Amino acid sequence: MSSIFPGKIQHIGYFARYTSTQIAYNMKPRLTLLLIFCTFAQVLSAQDQPAPKKWGVHITPTSLVNYYPRFRVGTQYMSERYSYLLDVSYANFPSFWGGSNYRKGFSYLAIRPEIRRFITSRPEINSGGLYTSDYWGLELALSHFPLRIEGDAYEATDGEQYSFDEATRLRRQLAVHLKYGTQRIYSKVHIDLFVGVGLRLQHLQYQDVSGQILRFDNPAEEWLISIESKREGWSLRPSLTLGLRLGIGVGQ
């Protein structure tokens, strides 16, 4: 009996090694095919979910819903974590308000460069191709704003107060805004909501003044309490910006 069992044990060992070798040999083609299939599926998945376009153009329709409406257009470039924008605003309405308003007409020109950093990135929502990102932004706004007005008053740089029949109030302004917003991208369409706060350094100057009269009755309580500053010269004021951009991607 002792001579039989060693032979059987040796035979079983040979069989086990042969079987494992055959299994490994037969599995190699299957593993190769599985790897090729997974790679191909990943490529198809990437094609079904294309990355958003890096270059885009946009408009800001909320700039038209304003007491001083203006047209605002711009362009944007997006990298992986940052976005760079440049907006231009323009208006020219020589006669905008009716005869009962002391404001008569205005023109407006502004340039607004901005840099953003994305703080969240959700590549896709509900597998519908909708990409979304939240961001912090820093915006610099330079503007030139002449406003034609009638029957108003102002305080000059020397402290004297004047009333006038007609004048052009020129406001030059530099503003810096810290912004928070969220950007949605569906296919090529961009939707951007934002709000920001900051400071603006402005300079007021009254030009082409007609019918100017020096005031002695100190009318400050009548017309200097206003949302719009009427004092000539430099001033530093808080600033708020908010709006909606609509854009379209145009290229990688």
What are the pLDDT tens digits along the chain (252 aa)? 445 445 544 544 454 454 445 444 444 454 454 454 444 444 444 444 445 558 899 999 999 988 899 999 999 998 878 999 999 999 999 887 766 677 889 999 999 999 999 998 665 555 556 678 899 999 999 999 999 999 888 989 988 889 999 999 999 999 999 999 998 888 788 899 999 999 999 999 999 999 999 986 655 445 545 567 788 999 999 999 999 999 998 876
Cα 185–Cα 186–Cα 188 angle in degrees, nearest 5: 85
- 72 φ/ψ angles, rounded to the nearest 5 degrees: -135, 120
Question: Residue 183 burial by CB count (10 A; 0-12/13-18/19+): exposed, middle or buried?
Answer: buried
Q: Six-digit token pair at 88? A: 């231009």
Residues in Cβ contact with 198 at an 8 Å cutoff, skipping those fewer than 6 apart: 139, 175, 176, 177, 178, 238, 239, 241
pLDDT at 102: 78
pLDDT at 95: 83
Kindly state the DSSP code that residue 64 receives in the 8-state scheme: G
Question: Residue 172: its pLDDT value, please?
Answer: 97
Cβ–Cβ under 8 Å, residues 158 and 187: no
Helix or strand or coil: residue 69?
Answer: coil
CA of residue 114 relative to chain centroid, distance: 8
Name every residue whose Cβ is closer than 8 Å to that of residue 94 and which is 6 or more positions away in sequence: 105, 107, 148
What pTM did the predictor assign? 0.73
Strands 71-78 and 82-93: antiparallel
